Amino acid sequence: MMNTTTCPRISLDFTGRFLLPVYILVFIVGLIANGWGLKSLQHNWTKLGNVNVFVFNLGLTDVLYLLTLPFLVVYYFMGSKWIFGETFCKITRFCFNVNLYGSIGFLTCISVYRYLAIVHPMRAMGRITVTHSVMISVTVWLLVSVQSLPDMFFPKTFRNKPEQCFDTTDNDHVEEYLKYNLGWTLTGFCIPLLITLGCYGHVIVVLRSTNTIDKCSQPSGLPPCT
């Protein structure tokens, strides 16, 4: 005789209980931290050099996402019931994606600038201006927006439950969304990750070799470097 078992129904109420306080905390801490960071950046604008343009844009991506958190707080406070319409749901998710991949892009730019300043200081000195940093920042914003834009064409609500707001899509478009998301992850995360690891890896090698040379250049009478 075949044993039949029934799968218990999974309750997703924990998402609301968990995400609601998390979003409130992130909103409060994020506003304070980014406000303090942007104010500090303003006071030290001339000291930081060209990299401050990327730091400023990094703060803007965070502020862009923070502005959407009050709507998500209302969403989970009402028991995962979205009352702002599907269009604004898509805009909210779009802002999250721009924040995520924009932050990755600007952190990658900062890594490249640090690499050039440490490994190739003479070549980079005077050749990288604020104008270049602004142009690169605009390019990052455009690329991230273009990458995130197709996400807005996927349905974010069930047809029979328009009050929900998904961060991915409904069940009928999961396969297409998966293909898009894989390409998105490759270009928006994996490639910048490899660039960042390569930059910092080379920086570590250069600093270690410089440290070795300094140790070998010791005054006479000390044991030779091996």
> Residue 204 pLDDT more than 50?
yes
DSSP code for 163: T
Please tell me the predicted confidence (pLDDT) of residue 1: 46
Does residue 36 fall inside a structural domain?
yes
Contact 75, 81 (CB under 8 A): yes
47 vs 113 pLDDT, higher one = 113
89 pLDDT higher than 80: yes
Residue 51 lies in a domain: yes
* Distance, CA of 76 to CA of 13 (rounded, Å): 9
26 occurs within a structural domain:
yes
Domain contains 4: no
> Which position has the token pair 């991230």?
144
The predicted structure's pLDDT at residue 95 = 93
Residue 2 lies in a domain: no
CA dihedral (209, 211, 212, 214) positive or negative = positive
Give how many domains the chain has, as a whole number: 1
149-160 tens-digit pLDDT: 999 999 887 766
Say if residues 65 and 12 touch (Cβ distance below 8 Å): no
Assigned domain for 44 exists: yes
In a domain, 151, yes or no: yes
104 assigned to some structural domain: yes
Confidence of residue 179 (pLDDT cuts 50, 70, 90): very high
Regarding predicted confidence, which is higher, 123 or 212? 123
Provide the domain limits for residue 127: 14-210
- CATH at residue 112: 1.20.1070.10
